[in-house]
Amino acid sequence: MDRTAAGRVLAGAVKDLKLRRPIVGLALPRGGVPVAYEVALALRAPLDVLVVRKVGMPGQPELAIGAVAAGGIIVREPGTVGHLPALDTRFERLAQREVRELDRRERTYRKDLPPLDLRGQTAVLVDDGLATGATMIAAVRAARAAGAAFVVVAAPVASDQAAALVRAEADELAILRVPPMLFAIGAWYRNFDQLEDADLCRLLALAREKGSEPVAPTQDTA
């Protein structure tokens, strides 16, 4: 299974939630974009990116010690930062470096278009998997800060720790698999190719062509 196939299966699980419209799909780049594209297409919802940057452990950048998201949202991973005082003093500097990269990626992915208005919307946040949950928690808080009325988190796979943490933040959860041991998100995919910015921009442009426009937040459930 690749991200596209996973997105199609996940779309069915999200549709079963019978979410209140209007709905906006929000992809966490990079890996969440092809998954979210399929979800948004099935929901007939517009698609945008919600750029979140992982704050990585020095020397182990794949290990998240926190995350940053648009709107000045900063999340610290309590399992690491809280128990390493020396690292705590460096966290702000590491986080600010990721904020600069976040700003660059938002400009790249949106092509100078403004973000979709989330006020009064049901926001469906999609990633290709949740390892620690830190980046998705930052995304949930950013969506709420932007005015989303209801926040759904959707992913094909998540660790039990991440699922529990995100469940406490989101209004609804759609996770296809929560294995007892999750060492790497890529291990749950047959094809987990690295995505480039050009791939994401192509999908987002296609979504803008095919996707629905946001409607007034007074409509009934889908």
Those residues whose C-beta lies under 8 Å from the C-beta of residue 53, and which sit 6 or more positions away, are 67, 68, 69, 98, 99, 101, 102, 105, 135
Is 34 contained in some domain?
yes
The pLDDT of residue 183? 82
DSSP string, 7-62: HHHHHHHHHTT-PBSSEEEEE-TTTHHHHHHHHHHHHT--EEE--EEEEEETTEEE
Structural domain contains residue 219: no
pLDDT per residue of the chain (222 residues) written in tens, 0 to 9 = 899 999 999 999 999 999 999 999 999 999 999 999 999 999 999 999 999 988 877 777 777 778 899 888 888 876 555 555 666 667 878 888 888 888 888 888 887 788 899 999 999 999 999 988 988 999 999 999 999 999 999 999 999 999 999 999 999 999 999 998 888 899 999 999 989 989 999 999 999 887 544 333 333 333
Listed in order, strand segments (DSSP E) in 102-222 are: 122-126, 150-157, 172-177
At 135 the three-state DSSP class reads: helix
Q: Is residue 27 part of a domain?
A: yes
Residue 199 lies in a domain: yes
Distance CA 219, CA 222 (A): 9
Asked if residue 188 belongs to a domain, the reply is yes
**133 domain residue, yes or no:** yes
CATH code of the domain containing 46:
3.40.50.2020
Q: What is the pTM of this model?
A: 0.86
- Report pLDDT for 29: 92
d(CA 200, CA 155): 18
* Residue 136 falls inside a structural domain: yes
> Domain span at residue 165?
3-51+110-208
Instruction: Please say whether the beta carbons of 175 and 200 come within 8 A.
Output: no
> What is the pLDDT, as a whole number, of residue 123?
98
Based on the structure, what is the number of domains in the chain? 1
**Residue 76 forms part of a structural domain:** no
d(CA 13, CA 10): 5
Q: Which two tokens stand for residue 41?
A: 């297409």
